[in-house]
Amino acid sequence: MPRAESSSAPQIRHGSRRVIAVVASFTPSLTIFRLDLLKRLVAAGHRVVALAPEQDAKVEHQLAEIGVEFRRVPMARTGLNPIEDLRTLWSLRESFRHLRPDLILPYTMKPIIYGGIAARMLGIRERCFLVTGLGHMFSEQASASVKSRLVRHLCVWLYRMAFRGAKVVFAYNDADVADIRNHRMLRDSSLITIVPGSGVDPDHFIFSRPPQGAPVFLMVARLLRDKGIVEYVEAARVVRRSSPEARFQLLGPFDGNPTAVSRAEIDGWVREGILDYLGSTDDVRPYLAACSVFVLPSYYREGIPRSILEALATGRPIITTDLPGCRDTVQPGVNGFAVKARDAVSLADAMIALARDPELVARMGEKSREIAKSKFDVHAVNRLLLERMQLE
């Protein structure tokens, strides 16, 4: 059981060089989602140490180039295995004990829970948490089974343990804030600050006009059913009836998650001629530039999908679901459409509307770019994070 912060804990040193521990559950996410934030922390004069489970030479090299240290900690991204999770808690505690960080910043569920508890055990007083999405356990469908409800109760209890005494809790959308409040995960809800996702760099994802010719729809996601891949394929079949020249692309890695789509299913859709599977990539920009419309029919409990932000900055209309996180990126009828979740017909209707009207595609794409710059600029997002953590 974590003990309360002791009076002998290190004093907070505002305005001086700090030791900051950033904790992730997936090593590549440090450079995919947090590179600009890490750069800014280093530029502010702090010593930054990133902790994550996988050894990844490319990521470690990128981090070293910007002055960020890397430490490996064992952690399973998914599942609740008590032995593995206790090992994660102990490893984080030992890492923190050696590093003596002034401030921790974990993101995603397991780093938040076990990083927060480990830091409390050691009396680390500045604990900031980045809730990038509460995940599947807090979605509506997770309430359907007794087992899921029990797991959610356990998760709520663990979040309460981690958040106790927090300096700040960042959240990406109103739905996550509501769950944190309704489940009483945090005693003082005034500590919650909403930020508009991880942000996107509009200078890196440059604007381009949609290509001429047949409409090209692109979906970028991990190959999970909850991301709406099956609905995307079903909608593609419907769209093909009125727009046989339309193309439907899917880009993203296979995943070991139990809800993953299998390679055999993907291969079957490719053989059918309904889907172009593009594999996975480290640079999505050429694929965004080559598409007409971006589609993410996710019913996974998203924070704010980074893939949509990148499509916004590129200047593409967005078709996504009217669910937390996803709907925050769309002004319906202005830069895209928010459709019903798990509804291939609703999805197809939106796709048909854009397939038939190239001028609408162009107008909505311009609006997407404006939204990316005004609402989701990564530099503004990171400035808010550092100001709230008092690191500048």
Q: What is the per-residue pLDDT across 181-213, written as a single tens digit (0 to 9) for each?
A: 999 999 999 999 999 999 999 999 999 999 999
How many whole angstroms separate alpha carbon 337 and alpha carbon 331? Answer: 7
Q: What is the pTM of this model?
A: 0.89
- CB contact at 8 A, 266 and 223: yes
For residues 272-298, average pLDDT: 97
pLDDT score of 335: 98
Phi and psi, residue 200, nearest 5°: -145, 145
pLDDT score of 277: 98
- CB contact at 8 A, 368 and 207: no
pLDDT bucket at 6, cuts 50 / 70 / 90:
very low
pLDDT score of 81: 79
pLDDT score of 4: 40
The contacts found for 72-80 with CB under 8 angstroms, 24 or more apart, are: 73/23, 75/25, 75/110, 75/111, 75/114, 76/110, 77/25, 77/26, 77/53, 77/110, 78/257, 80/151, 80/154
pLDDT score of 3: 40
pLDDT bucket at 13, cuts 50 / 70 / 90:
very low
Q: Which of 8-12, 129-133, 327-331 has the lowest mean pLDDT?
A: 8-12
Give percent of the chain with pLDDT exceeding 90: 85
For residues 111-122, average pLDDT: 97
Encoded tokens for 62: 């990128």
Find the angle CA(38)-CA(42)-CA(44) to the nearest 5 degrees. Answer: 115
pLDDT score of 152: 86
pLDDT score of 141: 62
Domains and CATH numbers, the chain: 19-199+378-389 (3.40.50.2000), 216-375 (3.40.50.2000)
pLDDT score of 140: 66
Q: What is the per-residue pLDDT across 342-366, written as a single tens digit (0 to 9) for each?
A: 999 999 999 999 999 999 999 999 9
pLDDT bucket at 16, cuts 50 / 70 / 90:
confident
Q: What is the per-residue pLDDT across 199-254, written as a single tens digit (0 to 9) for each?
A: 999 999 999 999 999 999 999 999 999 999 999 999 999 999 999 999 999 999 98
For residues 130-147, average pLDDT: 75
Q: What is the per-residue pLDDT across 322-346, written as a single tens digit (0 to 9) for each?
A: 999 999 999 999 999 999 999 999 9
For residues 81-87, average pLDDT: 89
Placement of tokens 């998650």 in the chain: 257
How many whole angstroms separate alpha carbon 272 and alpha carbon 281? Answer: 24
How many whole angstroms separate alpha carbon 284 and alpha carbon 129? Answer: 28
Encoded tokens for 338: 């928010």
- CB contact at 8 A, 66 and 22: no
